[in-house]
Amino acid sequence: MTDVETGLRDRLVDVGVDLVAREGAQALTLREIARRAGVSHGAPRRHFPTHLELLSAIARRGFGELAARTAARGGQGPARARLTELALAYLEFALDNRGMYELMFRHDVLESGHLRLRDTSLPLFERLVELTGAARPGVDARTVAGALWANLHGIAQLWSWGSLQLATGAADFTPLVRAALDAHLGPEDA
Amino acid sequence: MTDVETGLRDRLVDVGVDLVAREGAQALTLREIARRAGVSHGAPRRHFPTHLELLSAIARRGFGELAARTAARGGQGPARARLTELALAYLEFALDNRGMYELMFRHDVLESGHLRLRDTSLPLFERLVELTGAARPGVDARTVAGALWANLHGIAQLWSWGSLQLATGAADFTPLVRAALDAHLGPEDA
DNA sequence: GCCCACCGGTAGACACTGTCTACGCACCCT
DNA sequence: AGGGTGCGTAGACAGTGTCTACCGGTGGGC
């Protein structure tokens, strides 16, 4: 009735997205996904030759939503303000969807050829490069953007793991994000 | 004869360290470690009640060597230069020992209580805080050090995964590390 | 209109994993 | 000498991913 008519391929990914949000990345068993989709454990093989490819398809959903979230925010205004919004949106996504974010950056589990992150991840980075160049002209925007991206990723990972709270004693990650932005782009009101 | 007399507990960790360097983190099967140690698959249980605890013991070796490597470098000189050496040593460790580094930051696999990283990781961070305060007085050294650490970690991870090469087109990670250091600490010759 | 091929799901086997339990051997202590 | 305990063995169990044989329906070609 509702969406029973959707193909099994999409349904498996739906189930996976739901499952990783609900129980974490280690719950994404092939057989468990099949179980929750109401099919036998051999069925997914018709659509995803291997477990890794199913996980990659689930992760690609994550990259898509990350792109959508960061695109929705930081629409206009000066480049520096848009970068702040983008960075905060990135961090919030990572911490609202820890399981998915963890899955997205488990390169041992995502044969990077399968998930074509060039389609979703690279455009996002290009936007970062563009905004960086606008906010801080006169430097190698590509390198600075790379360092900034790495910084956001590191904060997301270490914060999610709890290390940064332990090491710095902070209770909120926004000061860290602002410190990173100030460092790479210069102080906000400059 | 050689070191046959070492206890099984240490031998298991030895085998694990060797195995993760040789074949990566996913090869650290409990049974495979036992096999290579020449004991039955049930033997490790006498020393490590669970697989996670054995992995944590192996990872702790990694934290120890990371601390040793970063301590060996950056011995003296101005704080800024020592920080550069420390950062490069950190990155080189991460990229020379990808399997180990990956293991060290797999929080799903390291019940963080077991590996007492307070003993090895926090002192390293404290040294980072101290040097940061010396290199860049007048700011919240703890926050800046946290952001810098996250930046190094992010570079290590994304570089090891290949994303930064793809996104920035760089072939060497030192420009990125220097960009991060310049960003958080100010330009070197200041 | 029939037959046949094929798409897609089922069911069972296989090797492998981590954990648990029963067993046994050797050693040490009194 | 005897009993207990530390430590490794061996087998069972549930669970995993992959592979293979099977098979029901559906659609196209003649």
**Cα(B131)–Cα(A60) distance, integer angstroms:** 40
Residues of A in contact with B144 (CB under 8 A): 179, 183
Å between CA of B45 and C1' of C22: 15
Of the candidate ranges A18-27, A53-62, B98-107, B139-148, the one whose mean pLDDT is the lowest: B98-107
**pLDDT > 70 fraction of chain B, expressed in percent and rounded:** 89
Q: Which nucleotides of chain D does any protein CB come within 7 A of?
A: 7-12, 15-21
Q: Is the CB of B49 under 7 A from strand D?
A: no
pLDDT, one tens digit per residue, over A22-53 is 999 999 999 999 999 999 999 999 999 999 99
Q: Which DSSP symbol is given to A6?
A: S
pLDDT at A112: 56
Cβ-nearest to A147 among B112, B121, B151: B151
Give B118's pLDDT tier (boundaries 50, 70, 90).
low
Q: Is the CB of B112 under 7 A from strand C?
A: no
Task: Enter the CATH code of domain A1-49.
Answer: 1.10.10.60
Enter the tokens of residue A112.
Answer: 């990077």
Could you report how far apart the first and last alpha carbons of chain B are, in Å? 57
Contact check, Cβ <8 Å, A179/B24:
no
Would you call A146 exposed, middle or buried from its count of C-beta atoms within 10 A (0-12, 13-18, 19+)? Answer: buried
Residues of B in contact with A168 (CB under 8 A): 142-143, 145-146
Give B2's pLDDT tier (boundaries 50, 70, 90).
very low
pLDDT at A73: 85
pLDDT, one tens digit per residue, over B39-89 is 999 999 999 999 999 999 999 999 999 999 998 887 778 999 999 999 999
B79 compared with A1, residue with greater pLDDT: B79
Give B3's pLDDT tier (boundaries 50, 70, 90).
very low
The values of phi and psi at residue A143, to 5°, are: -70, -45
Which residues lie closer than 8 Å to A35 by C-beta, 6 or more apart? Answer: A41
Give B113's pLDDT tier (boundaries 50, 70, 90).
low
Give B187's pLDDT tier (boundaries 50, 70, 90).
confident
Classify B189 as helix, strand or coil.
coil
> Is the pLDDT at B119 greater than 50, yes or no?
yes
Residues of A in contact with B170 (CB under 8 A): 143, 146
> According to the CATH classification, is domain A56-185 in 1.10.579.10?
no
Q: Which residue has the tokens 């040793």?
A: B68
pLDDT at B172: 95
**Cβ contact B172:A176 at 8 Å:** no
Of the candidate ranges A154-168, B19-33, B65-79, B105-119, the one whose mean pLDDT is the lowest: B105-119
> Is the pLDDT at B91 greater than 70, yes or no?
yes
- The 10 Å CB-count burial string (b at 16+, else e) for A13-34 is bbbbbebbeeeebeebebeebb
H-run or E-run covering A113:
none
pLDDT, one tens digit per residue, over A79-129 is 999 999 999 999 999 999 999 999 998 776 566 555 565 667 788 899 999
pLDDT at A2: 43
pLDDT at A51: 96
pLDDT at B162: 85
Give A163's pLDDT tier (boundaries 50, 70, 90).
confident
pLDDT at A116: 62
Residue ranges covered by each domain of chain A: 1-49, 56-185
**Cα(A11)–Cα(B133) distance, integer angstroms:** 53
A188 compared with A25, residue with greater pLDDT: A25
Enter the tokens of residue A156.
Answer: 């997301």
Protein residue closest to C21, using CA and C1': B42
Closest by Cα among B64, B60, B63, B67 to B114: B60
Evaluate the CA torsion angle B118, B123, B128, B134 in order and state its sign. Answer: positive
Protein residue closest to D11, using CA and C1': B42
pLDDT at B58: 95
